[in-house]
Structure 1
Amino acid sequence: MRGPVPTLRDVAERAGVSPTTVSRVINASGFVSREARAAIRQAIDELGYVPSASARGLASRHTAMVGLCLPVVDADTDLADRSDRRPPPRVPGLPGAETVPVVVDTDPEAIISWGGMYFGEVVRGAEFAAWEAGLAITVAMTRAPDLEARVLNMAGRVDGMVVVSGTLPDDLLEHVARRVPVVILTGLGPESAHDRVTVRNAEGVERLVEHLLTDHGITSLEYVAAPEGTPDDEERFRGFCRALTRAGIEAPAAPRLRGDWERGRGREIARGLVDGLGRGGTLPGALVCCNDNTALGLLDVFAAHGVRVPEDVVVTGFDGVEAARTSAPPLTTVEQPMAELGRAAVEVLTARIAAPARRAATTSLPVTVVLRGSCGAHPPVGVDGRAGEDPA
């Protein structure tokens, strides 16, 4: 059995100093003589003492932790269903069949969620920025029904939080913001009372549509939107409309086609378009999608039904996920710096923690239009119109 957990007082007694002196060494605050410091370090090693982060937080009002609050995507909600399923049938007669199952893939169209690819990069950037600042990251997924309890529990354990726009109800967000500094990742407007880190959504789509209009001569374009009320998507649609209006083409009042950020819904939209062809309908010259996963779903179905991209219809995305480079054809997209979003959000948060009274600000990161085979071109073009560096 394990013995009692050593305490700070145990370390003080072993080193022959006061608990306050031990606390100064652990928290790197105040003067401690070299001899006393060495005795405390030796006592910590001998006892196997591990400082309590919560106790240190109570004393210093800092925990050296920042929270990252992410939404739950559709693919995550499927995990509970899959955990209840029986193991798939084994292929008999193969060596090791009793210990290592060999199965036939019964769902070859299963896809990795947008959230897994996009937010994985955001978390990677956030963790790196926290590490540079000597902090640690804790992540919470906004799951019902205990959303409020989960989020408030995190707020009580961290020095500040990065919250993805739209993941928390407004009243809960403001409640959290009264306890700790909050940075909003994407979404909201420049008049927000909170710091905001986003990308140049509207400018990116506007530059992409200008390329399709000017360099390809396409005048029939349709925007494939995200769920209604999504701030980033609204900005992207605004850029789409702005480019059409500047070219003298009437912009739609609202998108006709809506996805849900996921590849599966993109496939459903494409099937509807293909069915329309069978009834004498036509395709627009270009489908400008709210994100890469939606566009990849379109490519899946178009390829299966003989709709040629880009000859019959141009398809574009937004994000710059790795799968966009290896699709058939490779996907033209607006590439955003996903890891840099996470990194910048944590850097803004640490600045806010250090100066809580300063005015809220918006940090807007650049994007790049990357031209590939799905529009019939290849060199990447920056938002400012200059040729960018080919990511390949």
Structure 2
Amino acid sequence: MITIKEVAKRANVSSATVSRMLNDSGYVSEEARERILKVIEETGYVPSENAKSLRTKKTKVIGVILPKLGSETTSRMVNGLDRVLAAEGYQLLLANTNLSAEKEIEFLKLLKSRDVEGIILSATNTSEQLVEEIQKLKIPFVVVGQDMPDTPSVVFNEIMATQDMIEYLIEKGHEKVAFIGVSESDRAVGLLRKKGYLAAMEKHGLPIEEHWIQTAFFDVESGYQAMKNMIEESAQRPTAVFAVTDRLAIGAMNYIKEAGLRIPEDMALTGVGASELSQYVTPSLTTVDFQYNKAGQEAANLILSLINQKNIPTSKIVLDYGLVKKDSV
């Protein structure tokens, strides 16, 4: 296997001259450049990426910590990341936490030890321990989906989007609106979306029965069970349900149908995520469209700005949203 020293010897230049040309890091005469290129072409020499990264202190790798690889929203965000970063010659090193807060911290430490140039975290919590670990990183870092103190972030307008969806249900004549959420340890999905729901109901002076608020996990089965609990335990049935994810809404839809109720005639149903599946269930699901692909692109641009030490006008980017109005309302 040919080395940089062999290339230099054949081109009758120093190894430092070959290195400067390959890394575009200093002056190399045109005559020497032509000789080096000729030797490279003849020998098929390929610079070692490991050696190059040691010289330039750049690995061209971005660590990405994800909550769940099987999620469509995660996939859309990663596509956005890759679209921007691949164009700049970066590779992604993906880590899957499977919704574990402990693994988020574990992977932060692991990726830092791998000398990645930056880390992007799609966070599921905002615990003090996580914030402390982030502050220890000393490398470019961006969080997606959660608003953390003094941390560059790309977030969604969770409260306003939820309020707008509840307002839409109220406009359609629904006064008994229920809520299927997740643990408030996930501040964005669990806490902020619940705040939006409560704020909209309070604004219109609408009552909320205790069992109309259910806490679930992030899967379809959990949405089914939450809906079952709500119907069986409530003194009066709601006429509409807001679920904080499309998966939960689809689980709820399955139980509503099993209970012999019609959607939307007997009960309206909405979700969040604008997933592909939401448009293929029957009836098609009314949902909130957060721009997950764009979130990935914005996070990628932000991490590149931090790596290149460019002036960043804002460290928090709040993305817009839209209501996808389909047949379930």
Give the TM interval when normalised to the shorter protein.
0.7 to 0.9
Which residue number in structure 2 is paired with residue 159 of structure 1? 117
1:260 is aligned to 2:217: yes
Question: Contact 2:246/2:273 (CA < 8 Å) preserved in 1?
Answer: yes
Equivalent runs, 1:123-138 vs 2, <5 Å? 123-138=78-93
Which residue number in structure 2 is paired with residue 195 of structure 1? 152
- In structure 1, what is the Cα distance between the partners aligned to 2:125 and 2:29? 49
Distance 1:131 1:253, change over 3 A: farther
Distance 1:149 1:262, change over 3 A: closer
- In structure 2, what is the Cα distance between the partners aligned to 1:254 and 1:354? 51
3-state SS, counterpart of residue 185 of structure 2: coil
Equivalent runs, 1:51-70 vs 2, <5 Å? 51-70=47-66
Which residue number in structure 1 is paired with residue 185 of structure 2? 229
3-state SS, counterpart of residue 373 of structure 1: coil
C-alpha RMSD of the superposition: 2.8
Question: Contact 2:152/2:316 (CA < 8 Å) preserved in 1?
Answer: yes
Tell me the TM-score normalized by structure 2: 0.87
Question: Contact 1:287/1:316 (CA < 8 Å) preserved in 2?
Answer: yes
Which residue number in structure 2 is paired with residue 306 of structure 1? 260
Question: Which is richer in helix?
Answer: 2
- In structure 2, what is the Cα distance between the partners aligned to 1:242 and 1:168? 22
3-state SS, counterpart of residue 163 of structure 1: strand
1:192-235 CA deviation, whole Å, 9 max, x = no partner? 11101011111111111111112x11111111111231111211
Which residue number in structure 1 is paired with residue 271 of structure 2? 317
1:77-105 CA deviation, whole Å, 9 max, x = no partner? xxxxxxxxxxxxxxxxxxxxxxxxxxxxx
1:352 is aligned to 2:306: yes
1:182 is aligned to 2:182: no
Report the Cα offset of residue 364 of structure 1.
0.5
Amino acid at match of 2:77: V
Report the Cα offset of residue 270 of structure 1.
2.7
Question: Contact 1:70/1:167 (CA < 8 Å) preserved in 2?
Answer: no
Amino acid at match of 2:47: P
Question: Contact 2:61/2:92 (CA < 8 Å) preserved in 1?
Answer: yes
Amino acid at match of 2:78: V
Match for 1:18 among 9, 14, 18?
14
- In structure 1, what is the Cα distance between the partners aligned to 2:300 and 2:150? 17
Which residue number in structure 1 is paired with residue 72 of structure 2? 117
Amino acid at match of 2:277: A
Task: Structure 1 unaligned segments of length 5 or more: list them.
Answer: 77-114, 376-392
- In structure 2, what is the Cα distance between the partners aligned to 1:70 and 1:363? 19
Question: Contact 2:78/2:296 (CA < 8 Å) preserved in 1?
Answer: yes
Amino acid at match of 2:5: R
- In structure 2, what is the Cα distance between the partners aligned to 1:318 and 1:52? 46
Report the Cα offset of residue 169 of structure 1.
6.4
Question: Contact 2:178/2:208 (CA < 8 Å) preserved in 1?
Answer: no
- In structure 2, what is the Cα distance between the partners aligned to 1:131 and 1:161? 15
Which residue number in structure 2 is paired with residue 29 of structure 1? 25
Question: Contact 1:263/1:293 (CA < 8 Å) preserved in 2?
Answer: yes
Task: Structure 2 unaligned segments of length 5 or more: list them.
Answer: none
More displaced stretch, 362-371 vs 11-20: 11-20
Report the Cα offset of residue 251 of structure 1.
6.2
Report the Cα offset of residue 287 of structure 1.
0.8
- In structure 1, what is the Cα distance between the partners aligned to 2:176 and 2:217? 23
Which residue number in structure 2 is paired with residue 50 of structure 1? 46
Match for 2:293 among 329, 335, 339?
339
Amino acid at match of 2:88: A
Question: Contact 1:181/1:356 (CA < 8 Å) preserved in 2?
Answer: no
Matched pairs, number: 324
Amino acid at match of 1:33: S
